[in-house]
């Protein structure tokens, strides 16, 4: 399933709602909280990255394979995703660390079509 989103501050909320609906349709309600948190963090990062590059949209992809939910978020910023070094009082910089902690696997790769940007992905499996 693919959702195209504008790189606007409302994108993470729309992405969470869409993810909640798809996960329930796939009868994976137990994964909803983890999936929504991962989607929120990845889409938030993608929105910031794409807006810096002047790109108007991002893409969220959800895939299910043998009970494992894959979450992929594509942006148009060529930078390598790096977990932040958030201090105790910082409001930002924990997103990728949260994604890594909540997912079974996590990583990134350049888009397969050779266009600028990256795809950041994470997987979630029922326990």
pLDDT tens sequence for the chain (127 residues): 999 999 999 999 999 999 999 999 999 999 999 999 999 999 998 998 887 666 788 999 999 998 899 999 999 887 777 665 655 554 555 577 788 888 889 999 999 888 888 999 999 988 7
Give residue 115's pLDDT: 85
- Residue 86 tokens, joined: 């958030």
Give residue 97's pLDDT: 78
Give residue 5's pLDDT: 95
- Residue 107 tokens, joined: 């990583």
Specify the number of domains making up the chain.
1
CATH number of the domain residue 39 falls in: 3.30.565.10
For residue 53, give its domain range.
2-124
Q: Confirm if 111 and 74 have CB atoms less than 8 A apart.
A: yes
Q: Any residues with CB less than 8 A from the CB of 62 and at least 6 apart, and which? A: 1, 19, 22, 23, 35, 69, 70, 71, 72
Give residue 90's pLDDT: 43
- Residue 20 tokens, joined: 């909640």
Give residue 85's pLDDT: 65
Residue for token pair 């060529």: 78
Give residue 32's pLDDT: 93
pTM of this prediction? Answer: 0.87
Going by the DSSP 8-state scheme, the letter that residue 23 receives in this structure is H
Give residue 64's pLDDT: 95
């Amino acid at each position: 399933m693919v959702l195209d989103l504008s790189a606007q501050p409302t994108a993470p909320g729309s992405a969470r709602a869409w993810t909640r609906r798809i996960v329930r349709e796939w009868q994976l309600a137990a994964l909803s909280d983890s999936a929504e948190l991962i989607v929120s963090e990845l889409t938030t990062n993608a929105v910031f990255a794409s807006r810096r590059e002047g790109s108007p949209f991002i893409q969220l992809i959800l895939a299910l394979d043998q009970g494992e939910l894959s979450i992929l978020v594509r942006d148009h910023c060529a930078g390598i995703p790096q977990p932040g070094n958030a201090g105790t009082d910082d409001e930002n910089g924990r997103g990728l660390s949260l994604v890594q902690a909540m997912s079974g696997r996590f990583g990134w790769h350049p888009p397969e079509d050779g266009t600028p940007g990256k795809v950041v992905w994470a997987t979630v499996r029922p326990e």
